[in-house]
Amino acid sequence: MAEDSAQSGGAPIRRGPYISMITNRTMNLLIRAAMLFMVGVFLALVLNLLQVQRNVTLFPPDVITSIFSSAWWVPPCCGTAAALIGLLYPCMDRRLGEPHKLKREWSNVMRCVAVFVGINHASAKVDFANNVQLSLTLAALSVGLWWTFDRSRSGFGLGVIIAILATLATQLLVYNGVFQYTSPDFLYIRSWLPCIFFAGVITVGNIGRQLALYEYKVSQEKTHQD
């Protein structure tokens, strides 16, 4: 009988190379998802702190229990969304066969994160003449972030779709009294919110792509060593 078959004497069943490859891919996927989740939680805590300090968003007093003045469910939701988006972007790149036009480096990813935090900071602390001016400015900054750090059609399309879905979900939460905006000007929410969502999707997508690229380089190096 073949070596990989089970022996009556209780000898362990050896895994073939295909099973090992699937196991490694699954483990790497889980590691990437966990890292993206932590990134999403961190960004949610920092960015929501800016919004609450500026009184852009208001939570009921009984749910403000953490040192970051954030409802407990916000960071886990943002972490889960970040994990899904960060895994979806490199998957779409492989499916569509669209090469990345910009050089991928962690320094670029960090700059992208810094610009995203700056956009959110501007939405919370910079005073504009009116909401239309603020929304147009943030829209231009968000598109500029995509052009500077992404430039892919799949990235832009996914960013728009996810931003629309996230905006609709936020409207439902506000409508049901989970939290509220101090000066809503667009169906219970602020009109600039889709721009923040779009910039966040592009940022998390870039982080997911960089993690996938790093995983690929490590696997290639192991293959060459073997």
Q: Which residue has the tokens 């070596």?
A: 3
pLDDT in tens, 169-182: 888 887 777 766 66
Phi-psi region of 186 (alpha: psi -120 to 50; beta: other; left: phi over 0): beta
H-run or E-run covering 91:
helix 74-96
pLDDT, tens only, 5-38: 444 444 444 444 445 555 677 888 899 999 999 9
Bigger pLDDT: 217 vs 67 = 217
pTM, to two decimals:
0.76
Q: What are the φ and ψ backbone dihedral angles of 112, each rounded to 5 degrees?
A: -65, -45
DSSP string across 164-201: HHHHHHHHHHHHTTS-EESS--BTTB-TTHHHHHHHHH
pLDDT-derived band at 219, boundaries 50, 70, 90: low
> Above 80 in pLDDT, residue 151?
yes
| Mean pLDDT of the region 118-132 | 76
pLDDT recorded at residue 35:
94
Least confident residue range of 103-107, 112-116, 169-173: 103-107
Going from the C-alpha of 160 to that of each of 3, 29, 31, 190, the distances in angstroms are 53, 25, 27, 17
Band (pLDDT 50/70/90 cuts) for residue 85 is very high
Name the residue with higher pLDDT: 176 or 200.
Answer: 200
Q: What does the alpha-carbon distance between residue 67 and residue 52 come to, in Å, rounded to a whole number?
A: 12
CB 109 within 8 A of CB 206: yes
